[in-house]
Amino acid sequence: LIPDVSFMKMTYEDLIRLNPISRFSIYTHAQASAVIELGASIKEQFDTMIQDGNIVDMSNGNPYGKVWLWVIGAYEVVRTMSDQKWKGSWSEERYTQIQEYKKRIADLRVPFAKQEHRNGKAVNHENSIYGIDCKRLANYIFPRFL
């Protein structure tokens, strides 16, 4: 995969217009782009595995391990975006959506990052598997506003 560096050829005004997240941090923009690319790669791998009828085939990389990185990365980007000091960067409606999404992704992040439930209780089984209902999970993780 060749990284997309086309944004380097833009004016600052074009970058801000096309990538509003850049208004408050070019680093967060780069991190969000990496998380988006990773998510697309994971989805592509899972789609191929499902199409081939072999959801445990790791011969083309390990999408399950990448999901761990994606969840942690997505949470950190959203956490940064939801910080009170950046509230003015968003419309009131968008800021509310970001806050709501942060709560949802946190439900996934804690088990992945800390290997425990959000309430701190010990995990006695595989806690990082959300379920097989891919459409429900996709709608939960990737709301329409992002």
Q: What is the DSSP string of 84-120?
A: GGGGGGS-HHHHHHHHHHHHHHHHHHHHHHHSS-TT-
- In this prediction, residues 115-121 reach a mean pLDDT of 70
Domain layout of the chain by residue ranges? 27-141
Q: Given this model, what pLDDT does residue 61 score?
A: 76
On the question of pLDDT at 7 being above 60, the answer is no
Q: Do 74 and 35 meet the contact criterion of CB atoms below 8 Å apart?
A: yes
Give CA–CA dist 72/106, Å, rounded: 9
Q: Do 58 and 50 meet the contact criterion of CB atoms below 8 Å apart?
A: no
Nearest to 40 by CA among 6, 7, 15, 74: 74
- In this prediction, residues 43-68 reach a mean pLDDT of 81
Q: Given this model, what pLDDT does residue 85 score?
A: 86
Q: Given this model, what pLDDT does residue 51 score?
A: 84
Give CA–CA dist 133/130, Å, rounded: 9
- In this prediction, residues 27-40 reach a mean pLDDT of 91
On the question of pLDDT at 146 being above 50, the answer is no
- In this prediction, residues 6-11 reach a mean pLDDT of 67
Q: Given this model, what pLDDT does residue 130 score?
A: 45
- In this prediction, residues 34-62 reach a mean pLDDT of 84
What lies within 8 Å, CB to CB, of 35 at 6+ separation is: 70, 73, 74, 77
Nearest to 137 by CA among 21, 29, 43: 43
Write down the mean pLDDT value for the chain: 78
Q: Given this model, what pLDDT does residue 110 score?
A: 80
DSSP 3-state of 57 = coil
Give this prediction's pTM.
0.69
Residue 44 in tokens = 């592509």
Q: How confident is the model at residue 48 (pLDDT cuts 50, 70, 90)?
A: confident
On the question of pLDDT at 115 being above 90, the answer is no
- In this prediction, residues 119-135 reach a mean pLDDT of 57
End-to-end, the C-alpha distance of the chain in Å comes to 23
